[in-house]
């Protein structure tokens, strides 16, 4: 029961934080991506469904769940693309919020390569740079 309350509270917080950030100046794409990954993980737990973010060749990334179809779609900023050296092309979560795989997301940007590392720790994901 406590886990459900925490998941619902966490989803509400992530949504409100994301909306608050959207109403201000644009945030760096890596921060938005971290928020998006956390949001789909919380969605997975709250709805007990498999979720994923898939990075497409056209520069978009799409978040979806098994029952909720597309949750959101975003365009990577101009000049930013997923590198062919990324070991991940998608980030996936089980209905319990556990990451299904680990690895790196490498992005080519005008400032150089940005790397997000998806670790699996105790069945959950942490995001490092």
Q: Output the CA torsion 94→100→104→106 (10° steps).
A: -50
pTM above threshold 0.85: no
According to the model, what pLDDT value does residue 29 have?
Answer: 87
For residue 91, what are the CA distances in angstroms to 11, 19, 53? 18, 22, 5
pLDDT at 67: 86
What is residue 78's DSSP assignment? T
Number of domains in the chain: 1
Q: Could you give the 3-state DSSP secondary structure of residue 45?
A: helix
According to the model, what pLDDT value does residue 121 have?
Answer: 65
- Residues of the chain whose pLDDT is less than 50? none
Q: 112 lies in which domain range?
A: 2-128
Segment (H or E) for 127: strand 124-128
Q: What is the pLDDT of residue 84?
A: 94
- The CATH number linked to 91 is 3.55.40.10
Q: Which pLDDT value is given to residue 19? A: 57
CA atoms within 13 A on the CB side of 2: 0
Cβ atoms of 97 and 122 closer than 8 Å: no
Task: Answer whether 53's CB lies under 8 Å from 62's CB.
Answer: yes
- The tens digit of pLDDT for each residue in 112-124 reads 998 888 888 665 6
């Amino acid at each position: 029961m406590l886990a459900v309350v925490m998941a619902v509270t966490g989803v509400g917080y992530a949504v409100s934080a994301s909306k608050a950030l959207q109403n201000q100046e644009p945030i760096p794409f890596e921060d938005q991506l971290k928020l998006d990954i956390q949001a789909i993980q919380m969605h997975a737990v709250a709805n007990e469904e498999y979720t994923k973010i898939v990075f497409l060749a056209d520069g978009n990334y799409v978040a979806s769940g098994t029952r909720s179809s597309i949750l959101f779609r975003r365009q990577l900023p101009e000049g930013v693309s997923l590198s062919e050296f990324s070991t991940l092309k998608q980030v996936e979560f089980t209905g319990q919020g556990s990451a299904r795989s680990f690895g790196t997301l490498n992005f080519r940007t005008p400032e150089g390569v940005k790397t997000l590392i998806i670790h699996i720790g105790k069945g959950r994901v942490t995001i490092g740079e």
